[in-house]
Amino acid sequence: MENKSNKKPKLHLKKGDKVRVIAGNAKGEEGVVMQVFPEKLRATVEGINIQYKHRKPSAANPQAGERIEKEGPIHISNLMVIDPASGEPRRVGRRRNENGKLERYFKTHSSKQNK
């Protein structure tokens, strides 16, 4: 029997985050997250994964067709959020603050070195 759940998966990034691509054709490029698709585990990033759609000439524009550019979605496993304080990509964690609300924080390498 299939488990049907209405919960959306929790993601490490959200709209407006600055991210760096860590895998794929655009590896090393940076951009801002424009849209997130949690059910598909994908996000669109400004200027990354540009796709083209060619249109034929129409009655409205009989002279020539056009080539439309738009950003395509990229899997979130290929993206890493950039820490605004250091400017470097970091892992993101969640913890409860004093008010009991979940907040995101950037993990650092120093915690591993102390062990």
The string over 82-92, giving b where at least 16 C-beta atoms fall within 10 Å of a residue's C-beta and e elsewhere, is bbeeeeebbeb
- Please state, rounded to an integer, the average pLDDT across all residues of the chain: 86
Query: How high is the pLDDT of residue 110?
Result: 65
Q: Could you give the CA distance from residue 88 to residue 60 in angstroms, rounded to a whole number?
A: 48
pLDDT of 37 higher than 50 = yes
Average pLDDT, stretch 54-80? 87
Listed by start position, the domains of the chain span 18-113
Percent of the chain with pLDDT over 90: 54
**1-31 residue pLDDT tens:** 566 667 777 888 999 999 999 998 999 999 9
**40-60 residue pLDDT tens:** 999 999 999 999 998 888 887
Return the higher-pLDDT residue of 114 and 59: 59
The residue assigned the tokens 């009991």 is 100
Fold of 18-113: SH3 type barrels. (2.30.30)
